[in-house]
Chain A
Amino acid sequence: MRSVVRHLLLIAFGLVMLYPLLWMVSSSLKPNDLIFRDPSLLPAAWDLTNYTIGWNALAHPFTHYLANSAVVVAGAVLGNLVSCSMAAYAFARLNFTGRRLWFAIMLMSIMLPIHVVIVPQYVLFSELDWINTFLPLIVPKFLATDAFFIFLMVQFFRGIPKELDEAARLDGCGHIRIYARIMMPLSLPALATTAIFTFIWTWNDFFGQLIFLTSPDMYTVPVALRTFVDSTGSSNWGALFAMSIVSLIPVFVVFLFGQKYLVKGIATTGIK
């Protein structure tokens, strides 16, 4: 009895939590003049007009921005996987001079607000002529600047028995082969967590993309959506909602298939 009440309360609360999302989905399927008169979730008729309007409402078809976002995300994911796992191998397995100090510096860099480095970064990237390219969003990832993932992988590597790499060393394996042939295959869960979080964060990232991408050609989904808000104002909410939903679908799909890694990732390291 008691647990029935608990379930009912949880279900009701869950519905309240998700209601805005469901409302956005259903509104995107309604004609504009009905969205605000009718708060119900089930549209009278399924109408995809908003999607076709929204898709072509900006300077480029929405596919263009999706492709731009995909390029940035793919670069960021690849960069984080390679660079963070390399650094993590050093911190977890190599006994080099000053390890403790560098490790502490690495941990502290996780907490550093981006705002305190963004102005000189902007100057640096404009000297390099990288403004309005994807490079400022991708190259730093190949330099392990998302130190958070180094930490995540160090934690994971520590759980892999040292006997494995010691045996490999006795067989004459060097560090590069131990890293590539032993640690990487055994760390697939940590790599998956890194890839998933990098995907979601980069896909959602607004601040960096707003600053470094300046022309509609290079806009990614978040920046394009923002110009959509500015250009349509409050006149075409249906189309705006439709494109907002399109922008959330990749995150939602990754969430569905990657839940296990997401939950494990935040539980062991404590992040969003």
Chain B
Amino acid sequence: MSALQELSGLRREPDRGRRGRQARHGRQSRSAAQKGDNRAAAFFLAPWFIGLFVITAGPLVASLYLSFTDYNLLQDPNWTGWENYARMLTDERLLNSLGVTFSYVLISVPLQLAAALLLAIVLDRGLRALAIYRSVFYLPSLLGGSVAIAILWRQVFGTNGLVNAFLGIFGVEGQGWVSHPDYALGTLMVLNVWTFGAPMVIFLAGLRQIPETYYEAAAIDGASRARRFRSITLPLLTPIIFFNLVLQLIGAFQSFTQAFVVSGGTGGPADSTMFYTLYLYQRGFGAFDMGYASAMAWLLLVIIAGMTAVNFLASKYWVFYGD
């Protein structure tokens, strides 16, 4: 079960545990047992509680406060109200970085998931050497976020790179893809699609959950392969597609390393690879404009939460949860 299913099923699951406990111990001993459990939980959760308040929730609140100040790390923060947020509205580079990030996310994530789904279907059911193919396709998603792969990408799509060497064979004159403002972002999209292995493995696990008997029954009724895919595989897979979509959108929106390394930290050429997080980093840790960076971080949080909420709302219309 995934974290998302868990969240939506939150209300049902723990009840079962409680009922079971009640049946065994009866009402009185339950409260005694709960007291003991509370003490034990305080011990087992102590590290997590400290982390939650000091490393996560505290800083979350603090960054909301800082987003309304002119904090720059050296001087005490001064309250400036909505100024940072107002500045964002007129900050051309910020608006550009939003555009760059949205086009990166909205183009590369669907392509990545389509590749993952396609390969999962090809690999499904009784194909020999499945494990080897799965490993080969999965490997790039483990490496894809590293600096080393970003370096490789910079060179594969460079002026003298691998891609142009191949184009040269066919007599096509290539160009420096990473140094051209029209194409640099595209090379990063390709990199994201290249890491389709992780969602593919999730799709494979999902495909295996579909009972073979459904297909047998449909085959007896004379359903064609295409029909079986459309009427059995696809609907039963929609929860997994949804799950992958939510996760990959959230992840892609926070991409940083690839753009940073490929552009040498600038987001160039001409801000064409200026991911939102990269601009945030430049403002916060390059210019130490930390109040502004905090405001940007909160906008990022709102965007990601909003995107996820829209996803959940839209899922009512296309995700099929069976019965």
Closest-by-CB residue of B relative to A209 is B147
Q: How far is the CB of B126 from chain A (nearest CB, A)?
A: 9
Q: How far is the CA of A126 from the CA of B73 in the complex (A)?
A: 10
* Beta-carbon contact of B257 and A207 below 8 Å: yes
A93-133: which residues lie under 8 A (CB-CB) from chain B? 94-97, 99-100, 102-124, 126
* Given the contacts A97-B34, A118-B297, A90 and B44 also touching, CB distance less than 8 Å: yes
B21 and A95 contacting across the interface, CB-CB below 8 Å: yes
Neighbouring B residues of A52 by C-beta, 8 Å:
none
Q: Which residues of B from 145 to 159 have beta carbons under 8 Å from A?
A: 145-149, 151-156, 158
**B322 at interface (Cβ–Cβ under 8 A)?**
no
Given contacts A17-B137, A272-B141, whether A240 and B162 have CB atoms under 8 Å apart is: no
Which residues of the partner chain A approach B201 to less than 8 Å between Cβ atoms? Answer: 263, 266-267
Interface members, chain A 210-253 (any B CB < 8 Å): 210-211, 221-222, 225-226, 229-230, 234, 237, 240-241, 244-245, 247-248, 251-252
A24 at the interface (CB under 8 A from B): yes
A68–B252 alpha-carbon span in the complex (Å) = 28
Q: With A and B bound together, what is the CA distance between A19 and B297 in angstroms?
A: 37
Closest beta carbon of chain A to B197's beta carbon, Å: 9
The answer on a CB contact under 8 Å between A17 and B194 is: yes
Rounded to whole angstroms, the CA-CA distance of A112 and B73 in the bound complex is: 24
Let me know if A145 and B56 touch, CB within 8 A: yes
Provide the residues of chain A in CB contact with B298, threshold 8 Å: 116
- The reply to whether A96 and B41 contact each other, CB–CB distance below 8 Å, is yes
Contact of A87 among B47, B128, B140, B146 (CB under 8 A): B47
A121–B42 Cα gap in the complex (Å)?
25
- The size bracket of the interface on A is 35 or more
B231 part of interface (Cβ distance < 8 Å): no
Verify A255–B139 contact, CB threshold 8 A: yes
Task: Give min CB distance, A95 to chain B, whole Å.
Answer: 5
Q: Are A143 and B55 in contact (CB under 8 A)?
A: yes
Contact B48 A10 (CB under 8 A): no
What mask results when residues 292 to 310 of chain B are scored 1 for a CB within 8 Å of chain A, else 0? 0110111011001000100
- Cβ of A116 and Cβ of B60 under 8 Å apart? yes
Q: Which residues of B contact A271 (CB under 8 A)?
A: 198, 247
Determine the main DSSP class of B at the interface with A: helix
B48–A150 contact, CB under 8 A? Answer: yes
* Bound complex: CA A36 to CA B1 (Å): 48
Contact A267 B205 (CB under 8 A): yes
A110 → B minimal CB distance (Å): 6
CA distance A179 to B247 in the complex (A): 31
Q: Which of B86-94, B98-106, B277-285, B313-321 contacts A (4 or more CB under 8 A)?
A: B277-285
Interface residue? B133 (CB, 8 A): yes
Contact between A113 and B304, CB atoms less than 8 A apart: yes
CB-CB < 8 A to B59: which residues of A? 117-121, 124
Q: How far is the CA of A34 from the CA of B62 in the complex (A)?
A: 54
- Among B6, B166, B293, B300, which residue has its beta carbon within 8 angstroms of that of A151? B6
How distant is A225 from chain B, measured CB to nearest CB, in Å?
5
Distance between Cα atoms of A111 and B254 in the complex (Å): 11
B222 located at the interface, meaning its Cβ lies under 8 Å from any Cβ of chain A in the complex: no
- Chain A residue nearest to B198 in the complex (CB): A272
Tell me if B147 and A247 are in contact (CB < 8 A). yes
Contacts of A252 in B (CB 8 A): 139, 143
- Cβ of A89 within 8 Å of any chain B Cβ, yes or no, is yes
A10 and B152: CB pair below 8 A? no
Of the residues A115, A145, A245, A255, contact of B51 by C-beta under 8 Å: A145
Q: Which chain B residues lie closer than 8 Å to A142 at the CB level?
A: 47
Give A124 Cβ to nearest chain B Cβ, in Å: 7
Q: What are 14 sample pairs from A and B whose C-beta atoms fall under 8 A apart? A: A7-B129, A36-B165, A82-B47, A87-B44, A87-B47, A95-B33, A100-B10, A100-B14, A104-B7, A111-B308, A113-B250, A119-B62, A145-B52, A206-B260
With A119-B59, A272-B141, A272-B198 given, name 15 new contacts (CB 8 A).
A14-B136, A18-B136, A24-B155, A36-B165, A39-B162, A94-B38, A100-B14, A111-B304, A119-B63, A120-B62, A144-B51, A145-B56, A204-B147, A247-B147, A272-B251
Query: Residues of B at under 8 Å CB distance from A?
Result: 1-3, 6-7, 10-11, 14, 17-18, 21, 33-34, 37-38, 40-45, 47-48, 50-52, 54-56, 58-60, 62-63, 66, 73, 119, 122-123, 127-129, 133-143, 145-149, 151-156, 158, 160-162, 165-166, 194-195, 198, 201-202, 204-205, 243-244, 247, 250-251, 253-254, 256-257, 260-261, 264-265, 277, 280-281, 284-285, 290, 293-294, 296-298, 300-301, 304, 308
